[in-house]
């Protein structure tokens, strides 16, 4: 087939930059973890049950009304890592999610949470993923990210980062929020 070298040359940039998406479903918890490996960047999403998130904030002494509010959000333990050789920058304000009805929405950021509760003197900021940060090679960070959707929801996540002088934009389809209750509960 004489067109094979041409096709490979045309597809090479897509193949080299293609992300490897790994999904791990736990039938006991009903939770599907996602890990995406890009050249130079790793993203892991760990859906957290509403009960777990409420317990974390309750254990930190947050008022019951705020603890109850957290149950209305799809929350992920999010881990970002710079696996490349150049600084990596991300800004959660640029990330979007699209619901099955086709509507695009913003994640709820750390800044928005802090603004909402600024008059309540809460020690809330330590657990949330920094809204915007630059990681040097080998650096990583983790924290909660929140999506204003109920438990059990499904959405597509559009995320971006800059590494070196190039901005990357990617999509993870069918991200599942943790269920409200475990399947055997």
Q: Does the structure show a pLDDT above 80 at 185?
A: no
Range of the domain at 70: 19-176
pLDDT at position 123, please? 61
CATH of the domain at 58: 2.60.40
> Residue 5 falls within a domain, yes or no?
no
Residue 3 domain-assigned (yes or no): no
Whether 13 maps to a domain, the answer reads no
Lowest-confidence pick of 10-19, 66-75, 97-106, 147-156:
10-19
pLDDT tens for residues 124-166? 667 899 999 999 999 999 999 999 999 999 999 999 999 999 9
> pTM of the entire structure?
0.86
How many domains does one find in the chain? 1
Secondary structure (DSSP) of 22-80: EEEEETTTTEEEEEEEETTEEEEEEEE-HHHHHHHHHHTT--HHHHHHHTTSEEEEEEE
Within-domain flag for 27: yes
Domain assignment present for 4 = no
pLDDT at 8: 43
User: Residue 180 — pLDDT band, cuts 50, 70, 90?
Assistant: very high
**185 is a domain residue:** no
Q: Return the higher-pLDDT residue of 57 and 171.
A: 171
Examine residue 184 and state whether it is found in any structural domain, yes or no: no
Any domain includes 8: no
Mean pLDDT across the chain, nearest whole number? 89
Q: What is the mean pLDDT of residues 35-45?
A: 97
Give me the long-range contacts of 27-30 (CB less than 8 A, separation at least 24).
27/183, 28/182, 28/183, 28/184, 29/178, 29/182, 29/183, 30/178, 30/179, 30/182, 30/183
């Amino acid at each position: 087939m004489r067109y094979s070298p041409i096709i490979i040359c045309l597809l090479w940039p897509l193949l080299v930059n293609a992300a490897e998406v790994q999904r791990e479903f736990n039938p006991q918890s009903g939770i599907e973890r996602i890990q995406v490996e890009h050249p130079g960047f790793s993203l892991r999403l760990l859906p957290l049950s509403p009960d777990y998130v409420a317990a974390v904030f309750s254990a930190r002494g947050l008022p019951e009304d705020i603890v109850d509010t957290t149950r209305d959000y799809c929350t992920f333990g999010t881990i970002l890592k710079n696996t490349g050789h150049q600084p990596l920058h991300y800004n959660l304000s640029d990330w979007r999610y699209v619901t099955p009805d086709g509507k695009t929405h913003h994640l709820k950021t750390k800044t928005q949470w802090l603004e909402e509760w600024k008059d309540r003197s809460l020690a809330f900021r330590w657990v949330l993923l920094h809204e915007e940060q630059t990681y040097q090679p080998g650096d990583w960070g983790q924290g909660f990210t929140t999506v204003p959707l109920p438990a059990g929801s499904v959405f597509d996540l559009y995320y971006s980062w800059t590494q070196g002088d190039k901005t990357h934009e990617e999509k993870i389809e069918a991200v599942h929020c943790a269920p409200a209750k475990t399947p055997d509960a």
